Amino acid sequence: MGKRLWAAVGAFLLLAGCARRVEEKNTLHILATTYPMYLLTTDLTSQAQDVEVELLVNSQTSCLHDYTLTVEDMKAIERADVIVMSGAGIEAFMEDALAASDADVIDCSEGLDLLPPLEEHGHEDHGHEEEWDPHYWMDPGHFLWARDTLCEALSEYVTLSGHVEYKLPDPADLLGDLSFPYLITFHDGFQYFAQAYGLTLLKAIEEEEGSTASAREIREIVELVEEYDIPAIFVEKNGSRSTAEVIRRETGCKIYELDMLMSGEGTGLQSYFDAMEANRAAIKEALK
């Protein structure tokens, strides 16, 4: 039996229990579905040999509820050996594609203490029914839990080494004493963020690009801003600002952006923590 065949047999035995064998050239193709999962995967495999990591949803978007797979997306799924998913229902658009794929799937939400979806998030009229709020990575503690889950799963495929253990600081030390610890956001993805940083999420509205909230919702937000004397409201950086601009004109409050990491250009955990630091700085400046 030749050396090449022995190498192939050895690779197969190494991945025993996995549904798919890495091709003979020994390159492991990993497809991360969302940008946060891409950051985790590139961090964990930065020192690994013969690993290729690709990002599936690589467009500036604030919401994946209505995402539709492209031809290029389907090709990426087809060539993947392992698919790293955020989970918690955010990749519902992949259901049919996964049924036709023989790639192994890693769900990074396994074992997490997930929150139920917000009661009012603007998707009820579009037929979306969610069991959990899927934006758990906005809590740094949950994000690092998902990293540990992914690390354990990926170790079955490739040797991982050189990873740093992160100790999260107390959120109170990051934000200090805020005069207005209340959030009004124009995206429904900041529930975990608010919980992690000890903030009260008074209202969250998910609006489609180019549309505005109803007159009732606008009136409710105006009343909240005036009741709590809130100096600023927050939009997601890739989302719509239409309703926020209406509220600004009505109340005089300022508008700040928060990053939910649905897209980006960086890799690794540093990019994640840079984004979270930018969010922290925006909160502290807006609500000081």
Residue 161 domain-assigned (yes or no):
no
> Of 212, 209, 258, whose CA–CA distance to 237 is shortest?
258
In this structure, the number of other CB atoms found within 10 A of the CB of residue 121 comes to 20
Instruction: Please indicate, yes or no, whether residues 109 and 17 belong to a single structural domain of this protein.
Output: yes
Instruction: Please indicate, yes or no, whether residues 212 and 259 belong to a single structural domain of this protein.
Output: yes
Instruction: Please indicate, yes or no, whether residues 101 and 189 belong to a single structural domain of this protein.
Output: no
What is the pLDDT averaged over residues 206-235? 88
What is the pLDDT averaged over residues 235-249? 91
Supply the range of the domain harboring residue 210. Answer: 171-287
Q: How many whole angstroms separate alpha carbon 249 and alpha carbon 241?
A: 12
Task: Say which amino acid occupies 40.
Answer: L
Residue 159 domain-assigned (yes or no):
no
What is the pLDDT averaged over residues 10-22? 39
Q: Is the pLDDT at 54 greater than 90, yes or no?
A: yes
Q: How many whole angstroms separate alpha carbon 181 and alpha carbon 189?
A: 17
Residue 163 domain-assigned (yes or no):
no
Q: How many whole angstroms separate alpha carbon 188 and alpha carbon 22?
A: 39
What is the count of structural domains for the chain? 2
* pLDDT, tens digit (0-9, with 9 covering 90-100), for 120-156: 544 444 444 578 999 999 999 999 999 999 999 999 9
Question: Which tokens belong to 248?
Answer: 């600004």
Q: How confident is the model at residue 166 (pLDDT cuts 50, 70, 90)?
A: confident
Global confidence as pTM: 0.85
pLDDT, position 172: 63
Instruction: Please indicate, yes or no, whether residues 105 and 188 belong to a single structural domain of this protein.
Output: no
Q: Is the pLDDT at 21 greater than 80, yes or no?
A: no
Task: Say which amino acid occupies 162.
Answer: G
Instruction: Please indicate, yes or no, whether residues 94 and 234 belong to a single structural domain of this protein.
Output: no
In this structure, the number of other CB atoms found within 10 A of the CB of residue 228 comes to 14
Q: How many whole angstroms separate alpha carbon 268 and alpha carbon 64?
A: 22
The pairing of beta strand 104-107 with beta strand 182-185: unpaired
In this structure, what CATH number is given to the domain that contains residue 45?
Answer: 3.40.50.1980
Instruction: Please indicate, yes or no, whether residues 210 and 280 belong to a single structural domain of this protein.
Output: yes
pLDDT, position 141: 94
